[in-house]
Chains A and B, each alone.
Chain A
Amino acid sequence: MNDMSGKPQYRVVGTRPVRPDGIDKVTGKAVFSADHFVAGMIYGAILRSPHAHARIRSIDVSKAAALPGVQAVVTGADFPTLQSLEVELGEGGGNIVDFSRNCMARDKVYYDGHAVAAVAATTLAIATEALELITVDYEVLPHVTDLAAAMAPDAPILHDKIRTKGLDTPSDKPTNITMRYVKQHGDAAAGLARAKVVARGSFSSAPVHQGYLEPQACTVSYNADGQVLIWASSQGAFMIRTVTAQILNIPIADIRVTPLEIGGGFGGKTVIYLEPVAVLLSKKSGRPVRLAMSRSDVFRATGPAPGTVCDVAIGADENGILTGAEVIFSGSAGAFPGSGTHPAAICSLACYKIPDYYIEGQDVVTNMACTAAYRSPGAPPIIFAVESVIDELANTLGIDPIDFRLRNAVQEGDPSPTGTPFGPIGLKEILEAAKVHQHWSEPLGPNQGRGIAAGYWPNFGGQSTAAVSLTDDGTVIVTTGSPDIGGSRASMAMMAAEVIGLPYENVRAIVADTSSIGYSMLTGGSRTTFATGKAVVEAAEKVVDEMRSRAAQIWGVDGSEVEWIDGEASCTAPGKEARLTIKQIAGKTGMSVKGPISAESTVNPPDPGPGIAVQIVDVEVDPDTGTVTVLRVTALQDVGRAIHPSYVEGQMQGGVVQGIGWALNEGYVFNAKGQLDNAGFLDYRIPVASDLPMISTVMIEVPWPSHPFGVKGVGEAPICPPMGAVANAVSAATGVRMRHLPMSPDRILSDIAAAQ
């Protein structure tokens, strides 16, 4: 399968077929979370706190329960009391007690939008009317939504029990700082002291939301025997099953979750909000219940990404070789711990060889919705700070920013953030490609600037199950438990078709419910094409082995005398040359003593390939209004191997544009009462088509050895560089270093004015 250059030649991998679920999605047939109807279904609605921080003295639901049409009312009192248990979900985790309290408040509400009660009624209008009849007696408490304020010694305390973990000297003082994580190598101070030039700065970023277009929704049917059916869209049907079972003390096998089509997630659908509430409403009413969020609920009550503050100092010698670095940051976790401190620390300096460094991160609770994963969770705003300082160093030393990065870029064999040597990592390759790209040398006009930044995300492996079964006519079904968030059914079918030797169209891939296939971790961490893909390849190989063995049986030869070539069994025994097609072998499965041909594989690969991306951005800054126009973007990435290049490009383009929104427009705005003031797409403005140019992509393939086709996860790395690249471009255009996100027009004007 190798040509003269040594590059593998594939028939299916690397082509761009139409995805198996495509027709459904362009004709309106695809069933998303709020599209599923169950006979007898009633409608739920959730009462949410108007206060950012308050003690619940009492809740009176009697009037709501008496409203005609109301079938069930649920409050925190209906939830079981749980023992503390840390749960890892694949893109971060948390404590099951916190998950439960995030689904429904108990004694306290921690943010504007926190659920306090739920109603199910025969119509949504009645359920909504009933919410107004619920009386909640709140004792309003002082709140804190600002990250820096939450760390102050006199800050309002969210959780009386929290003590900072990871301190050199443990303290028994209640605090909002939940933990401190330190990662260091050598002596950072000595490294900085050796430098000819040290660049430093204090950076910050506002909390931002994943902004998936489909609000969370689910339909749940609880049966009298305790068995539960859940239809929902999520990045992990198995995650919904596990967490719902744990929150409600239900045996896992009694919950069957059917994953519906998912309307975007970006990490935001790696946690649950509605399902346990809907189970209780269904249990109380005896009816299937639909529970759906409004867009305002999504912004107020589902996980944003943390706001951050970050101090960076990096030093380099006269040749532009980095000598030392210090990165000290904090992230706002929202109501409960977990703002991605560890991955942010790991990723912050990962692109560069730095002999002496000190990285310290803190996780801080604030009166905001509990943060959830968002594409490279934790890392992007810290990488923005580091890439800004790297840019300043290059400028100060008068070295081209690509050359500067090339001199310090990690390569295979260098220590990775975990200490083990990097495998094949294409940072130098993509920097070289950026350097010779026409974009890099194109002239710029007045008020225009060009920026470049790099970004790293380690990617994830994790547990996956896949099944491959052969039908009687020789077509194949691939079954996984990994929700398809952006074309993964296509890549699964393509990999199976490649292994078996079938045309893509003869292989159909589906995503099964949680009772129909073995466990898979959620779709996240850029793990699906890597880990689930690996399971698909292994299962497909087992099917091929079985077909070879059936052919050997038919021919009466030893299995070693049958080769599998181009989708056919070929007998190599002397004098017995013969061939059997898949169709011929499949046609005999029904009658075979051995039965049907089907195989399952489970994997848990510990060794995913790294995600590594570099982006070049041109902007024009209007000096009168401070408005930034993005003129041109070139996104380069080491993609390992692109199974379906269009969907890899799509991940790159989508990540870039989310990052442009993060850089320029997006950010949570809280009012004096701690309520979210921009809980809608009008005021929380994500990029629209007219804001943007085409997003050029350059895919560099440095294959990853532990995946059969060389796949590296591609979904997350592309959101790491954009904020740094845009900020570096704006700084180049204005001559003023931009250190705060979002770089809104008023911020840019005031930063320019302050510098003059």
Chain B
Amino acid sequence: MSKILVSTTVNGEAQEFACDPSTSLLDALRTELHLTGTKEGCGSGDCGACTVSLDGEMVCSCLVLAAEAEGRSIGTVEGIAEGSALHPLQTRFLEHAALQCGFCTPGFLVAAKSLLEKNPDPDETEIRYWLAGNLCRCTGYDKIVRAVQHAAADLRQERTVA
């Protein structure tokens, strides 16, 4: 089975990798590009731990073929901070202790970032439904929802100041 050469953009950087036609985007990110921040919790699109953005849309990378990334733009947890400066979501997740084991955290951050890009002022219910595809077994979601609310307020403030 011959490999497919894929040219794509990951977190703003041009990347090339070769993969089998059956390789998922999740496996390519983790194994070919060593971007292991994106996690596999189920491999069937049920847990959201592998959430990445694909041309700005939130997807489960375990349900996308790596070959589909050709010519497209992917965002992962590794691209959320700017250099050493954390994104408000990352800062508020830490301050609110919105993670215990931290395994689901990358998926939550990517999903929450996607939410706030579309809706800068979500209410609690909107946050809970947007994040309903991301499973967390440690926190009971309370502190995650609060961290997202707080980060949303930060980002609105930033926009007002700008």
Contacts and interface: CB of A to CB of B under 8 A. Distances in A.
A26 B34 contact: no
B90 interface: yes
Contact of B39 (A263, A647, A687, A694): A263
A16 B105 contact: no
Given A28-B78, A214-B41, A657 B36 contact: no
Contact of B95 (A18, A24, A31, A680): A18
B40 A34 contact: yes
* Most B CB within 10 A of own CB, among A31, A262, A657, A688: A688
A681 B141 CA distance: 17
Given A23-B94, A682-B46, A692 B141 contact: yes
* Most A CB within 10 A of own CB, among B41, B124, B141: B141
Contact of B94 (A19, A29, A35, A212): A19
B134 A681 contact: no
Interface in A3-56: 16, 18-19, 21-32, 34-35, 37
Nearest to A22: B94
Contacts of A19: 94, 97
Nearest to A696: B142
B74 interface: no
A295 interface: yes
A37 B105 contact: no
B45 to A, nearest CB: 8
A682 B47 CA distance: 9
A266 B80 CA distance: 29
A658 interface: yes
Q: Is the interface of B mostly helix, strand, loop or mixed?
A: loop
A654 B39 contact: no
Contacts of B17: none
A264 B97 contact: no
B162 to A, nearest CB: 24
Contact of A690 (B76, B90, B128): B128
A745 interface: no
A263 B101 contact: yes
A650 to B, nearest CB: 5
Contacts of A261: 101-103
Contacts of B90: 23, 26-27
A455 interface: no
Interface in B13-46: 20, 22, 30, 34-44, 46
Contacts of B30: 34-35
Contacts of B134: 688-689
Contacts of B42: 295, 680-681
Given A23-B86, A653-B140, A213 B104 contact: yes
A22 B95 CA distance: 9
Contacts of B103: 32, 212-214, 261, 263-264
Contacts of A35: 30, 36
B44 A688 contact: no
B63 interface: no
A681 B135 contact: yes
Contact of B102 (A25, A212, A658, A689): A25
Contact of B135 (A215, A649, A650, A686): A686
A27 B38 CA distance: 10
A681 B39 contact: no
Interface string A403-445: 0000000000000000000000000000000000000000000
Interface residues of A, number: 60
B137 A30 contact: no
Interface in B106-161: 106, 109, 124-125, 127-129, 131-146
Contacts of A25: 99, 102, 105
A654 B37 contact: no
A742 interface: no
* Most A CB within 10 A of own CB, among B90, B136, B144: B136
Contact of A646 (B76, B97, B125, B127): B97
Contacts of A689: 127-129, 131-132, 134, 136, 141, 144-145
A210 B137 CA distance: 8
A680 B132 CA distance: 16
B68 to A, nearest CB: 19
B10 interface: no
Contact of A650 (B49, B129, B132, B139): B139
A110 B137 CA distance: 28
A486 B138 contact: yes
B81 interface: yes
A211 interface: yes
A263 B102 CA distance: 7
Contacts of A215: 40-41
Contacts of B40: 34, 215
A27 B35 CA distance: 11
Contact of A681 (B22, B47, B94): B47
Contacts of B145: 689, 694
A265 to B, nearest CB: 8
A26 B105 contact: yes
Interface string A296-335: 0000000000000000000000000000000000000000
A213 B136 contact: yes
Contacts of A646: 96-97, 143
A682 B128 contact: no
Nearest to B86: A26
Contact of B100 (A487, A687, A688): A487
16 contacts: A23-B86, A26-B105, A28-B37, A31-B36, A32-B39, A212-B103, A212-B137, A213-B104, A646-B96, A647-B97, A650-B97, A650-B100, A650-B139, A651-B100, A654-B100, A692-B140
Interface of B: 20, 22, 30, 34-44, 46-47, 49, 76-78, 80-81, 86, 90, 93-97, 99-106, 109, 124-125, 127-129, 131-146
Given A213-B47, A214-B101, A265-B101, 12 more contacts: A29-B37, A35-B36, A213-B41, A214-B41, A261-B101, A653-B143, A654-B140, A680-B42, A689-B129, A689-B131, A692-B128, A695-B140
